[in-house]
Amino acid sequence: ESLPVLMLLLILCVLDWAFYTIFDTISKHSFLQYTFSSSHHLEVNVGGDSMLARLLRKTIGALNTSSDLLIESSNIACLPKPMGMDSQDYMKAFLPAGLLVLLCLTQAFSYRLRRVIAAFYFPKREKKRVLFFYNELLRKRLVFTKLRRTIIMQRAQKQGRPRHRLVDWCYRHFPFLWHFVRRRCVVCQAPQTSESWVCPTPGCGAVYCASCWIDMGKTCLACTPRDELSSSAYSNSSDDATYAE
């Protein structure tokens, strides 16, 4: 139950780092600044000493103006200003998730401690409990061995079925098709190779890879009767195990 929380937190941190990188790149490489400057000067000179000249100097001379304009503008107000998370922020984010995982582990070991305390005060009950689980393990191994041999026999029967004549004709005329229809080991389902061993018993034809053939004690579990099987063929089974009492 803690893994989804940790995965979500990790995804959020990655997204935060990605967005920060994108916005920081935009703010650094998208800065634009404009500067506009202008200068305006208007001056009208009227010469002469007559009354009309004096009148024109008083009236038209008021139009003489002089102005300088300088405008600077930029898009800094529109650019993003990201703030990245530092190590303390990441620690604060992951600290609750770490405490959650620690509490899960504490709960699991506290349950084990409960069994240890019960075994200390009730040793006879603990002995019955251990014997029960031991016998249950032996029973499961016995069932697994029988089930494994049944599966091997079914796979061997499936491999030994005769193919259609048309299929054999295609395989004879198109040898490259054998690469796609190679038989597999009846134990581990590994593709057949030149080192694989094929049971020569008529009607069997079970395929074993080299390692599985050695593990089976060089005995075909598909066609060999159960009474004739060697103990090495069932080295991992518990058929002959005695239940504890």
- Confirm whether 188 is domain-assigned: yes
Let me know whether 229 and 136 are in one domain.
yes
Let me know whether 229 and 133 are in one domain.
yes
Span 224-235, mean pLDDT?
54
Say if pTM beats, i.e. exceeds, 0.85: no
Residues ≥6 apart with Cβ < 8 Å to 53: 46, 47
Residue 134 has pLDDT above 60, yes or no: yes
Let me know whether 70 and 157 are in one domain.
no
- Confirm whether 182 is domain-assigned: yes
What pLDDT is attached to residue 228? 57
Asked if residue 186 lies in contact with residue 155, where contact means CB atoms within 8 angstroms, the answer is yes
Span 142-157, mean pLDDT?
75
User: Three-state DSSP class for 245?
Assistant: coil
pLDDT band, residue 18 (cuts 50/70/90): very high
Residue 212 has pLDDT above 50, yes or no: yes
Which of 36, 63, 92 is the C-terminal boundary of a domain?
92
209: left (phi over 0), alpha (psi -120 to 50) or beta: beta
Let me know whether 196 and 143 are in one domain.
yes
pLDDT band, residue 41 (cuts 50/70/90): confident
How many domains are contained in the chain? 2
Let me know whether 135 and 214 are in one domain.
yes
Span 169-184, mean pLDDT?
61
- Confirm whether 45 is domain-assigned: yes
What pLDDT is attached to residue 240? 47
132: left (phi over 0), alpha (psi -120 to 50) or beta: alpha
Span 40-48, mean pLDDT?
79
What pLDDT is attached to residue 234? 47
CA–CA dist 45, 64 (Å, integer): 9
Which secondary structure element, helix H or strand E, spans residue 238, and what is its range?
A: none
- Confirm whether 244 is domain-assigned: no
Q: For the chain, what is the mean pLDDT?
A: 78
Let me know whether 165 and 77 are in one domain.
no
Domain hosting 13: range is 2-92
- Confirm whether 105 is domain-assigned: no
Span 199-228, mean pLDDT?
76
Let me know whether 31 and 80 are in one domain.
yes
**Longest CA–CA separation in the chain, Å:** 147
CA–CA dist 26, 187 (Å, integer): 59
pLDDT band, residue 229 (cuts 50/70/90): low
What pLDDT is attached to residue 237? 44
User: Percent of the chain at pLDDT above 70?
Assistant: 81
Least confident span in 126-130, 133-137, 182-186: 182-186
pLDDT band, residue 178 (cuts 50/70/90): low
Q: Helix axis angle, 123-159 relative to 87-121, nearest 10°?
A: 110
- Confirm whether 10 is domain-assigned: yes
Cα separations in angstroms, 50 against 56, 57, 61: 10, 11, 16
- Confirm whether 116 is domain-assigned: no
pLDDT band, residue 11 (cuts 50/70/90): very high
